[in-house]
Structure 1
Amino acid sequence: MRKKIVAGNWKMNKNAEQTEDLLNELIEKMPTETDVQVIVAPTFVNLASAVDHLEFINIDVAAQNVHQAESGAYTGEISADMLKSVGVDIVILGHSERRAIFHETDALIASKVNTALEHDMTVIFCFGEELKDRQSKNHFNVVENQLRDGLFQIEAKDWDNIVLAYEPVWAIGTGETASPEQVQEMHEFIRETVRKAFGSDIAEDVSILYGGSVKPDNAKEIFSNPDVDGGLIGGAALKSDDFIAIVNAI
């Protein structure tokens, strides 16, 4: 039985005081009873305080990235052990901004996935096509290749710690959103791709999130698709009313 998940990626936003304010608002507005796993991903410097702040609250904390090495001369980087030591056991990997801005390749992302899994972390694995890929009708090939080259090196047992997040790059931060039909078509394709590689049980159990300008006014329609199990939320995660409305839309 796959989980319903709403994860908020805060990106490089919110200082310490603003993080505490937003967390307090989320605590106040969170539904008392929900089957949805709610996750927030503040910036690195606020992860430890967020974990402490949410200790008795049904909101999990994720990191936005992790380095593939255990330790070493990697100035400015954060290891999986460091994240675990402050109570963080979820990490977002493969986000389109990491791929585009920081030139992370599928091979590098695969290495990060392996490290995170070795530390028993849950990986929210992001992937998706650019506008040129969809316009050239190559979007299915791009998605399949990103899955195969960045994730499919893992073993069947590791899928218990994997959440998939499909993010069409052309619909991130642009105000554009894939139609519900486009979302379902791709999510169905993703599940079938997993099925071919790892079997029906894993394919049916893995949660596939949609990440592409999800807002309160379109969340319910997107989440109503049978192969959409929630969302990876960007801008709307920075506003407590919007984020909670999205949680309530599932």
Structure 2
Amino acid sequence: MSQHNASRIPFVVANWKINKLHADVAEFLDKVNGKVPAENVVETGIAAQDLFLSDMVRATAQSPIHIVAENVHWEDSGAYTGETSPKALKDIGAKYVLIGHFERRKFFNETDSTVNLKVTAALRNGLRPIIDVDEDMSTYAQFMDAEPSVAQVAAALAGVSVDQIRNVTLAYEPTWAIGSGEAASAVQAQKAAHLIRQTLAKLYSPVIAEQVRVLYGGSVTPDNAREIMLQKDIDGVLVGTSALDPEKFLQLVAIAQDPEVPEFNIENT
């Protein structure tokens, strides 16, 4: 981890989507509670359906695991049937919220402007956004030296202050890799993360850009995570299918703790 900025604590986030039933959630948490390191070593989060979040917060009250909402509305209250209030999420003890995931854009017509509304609403209520970026970074390859702005990043962060950006995490998930079983190569992931960090430097400052965490997501497994997390600008992973399995989730956390160690048993720490 020596090549990373020491202020960026590795972060492993499970995104369960609409998988698992109530009993499955309890079983998973029973298997991982007490087996993850302190959050100042590796931060861990689990994103689940809204109806499980309150129980998950209670079940992890003595654990460093953070509970993550998968979506949020941009108003604190009002006539928005079926939506989830950021104020209510904060009230039940959720700490993070995923915003702008590719599936939200594809299936529910989210746009850059609604993503920005949700980001600012989350921050206003003391929630920490994990903003998904699925932009095609290959279009920027020829402009690497010109430090272009990644459009989705710039749009999502409109109006976000220097103080607020410190509570934001960005996650790069190439559309073609999500659920495909084929992850981006470590080199591809690093190039995308570097472009995102360049955008942060342009929007804020190089110092701020070095403080914000950038994750990679898209067909992450314990087999490919080590090489990905060794990259200079990648601070962790956003994991779908593999994170449905508690043993694989713990493997990913162990890799994040020290990707330079080939075999690392988290239970021995």
TM-score by length of 1: 0.93
Q: 2:94 aligns with which of 69, 88, 93?
A: 88
Structure 2 CA distance for aligned equivalents of residues 179 and 114 of structure 1: 32
Question: CA offset at residue 84 of structure 1?
Answer: 1.2
1:108 aligns with 2:114: yes
Q: List alignment gaps of at least 5 residues for structure 1.
A: none
User: Which letter does structure 2 place at the counterpart of 1:224?
Assistant: L
Partner of 1:146: 152
User: Which letter does structure 1 place at the counterpart of 2:254?
Assistant: N
% same residue: 39
Partner of 1:126: 132
Partner of 1:186: 192
User: Which letter does structure 1 place at the counterpart of 2:51?
Assistant: V
SS in 1 for 2:109: coil
Structure 2 CA distance for aligned equivalents of residues 175 and 243 of structure 1: 17
Q: List alignment gaps of at least 5 residues for structure 2.
A: 1-6, 257-269
Q: 1:236 aligns with which of 219, 242, 267?
A: 242
Question: CA offset at residue 153 of structure 1?
Answer: 2.6
Q: 1:204 aligns with which of 207, 210, 219?
A: 210
| Count of residue pairs brought into register by the alignment | 245
TM-score by length of 2: 0.87
Q: 1:19 aligns with which of 25, 30, 37?
A: 25
User: Which letter does structure 1 place at the counterpart of 2:139?
Assistant: N
Q: Deviations over 1:208-234 (max 9, x none)?
A: 000111100111110000111000111
Q: Deviations over 1:182-218 (max 9, x none)?
A: 1111111111111011001110000000011110011
Structure 2 CA distance for aligned equivalents of residues 228 and 216 of structure 1: 16
Q: 1:215 aligns with which of 221, 228, 242?
A: 221
Distance 1:81 1:33, change over 3 A: closer
Q: 1:3 aligns with which of 6, 9, 15?
A: 9
2:182/2:219 contact within 8 Å kept: yes
Structure 2 CA distance for aligned equivalents of residues 183 and 165 of structure 1: 11
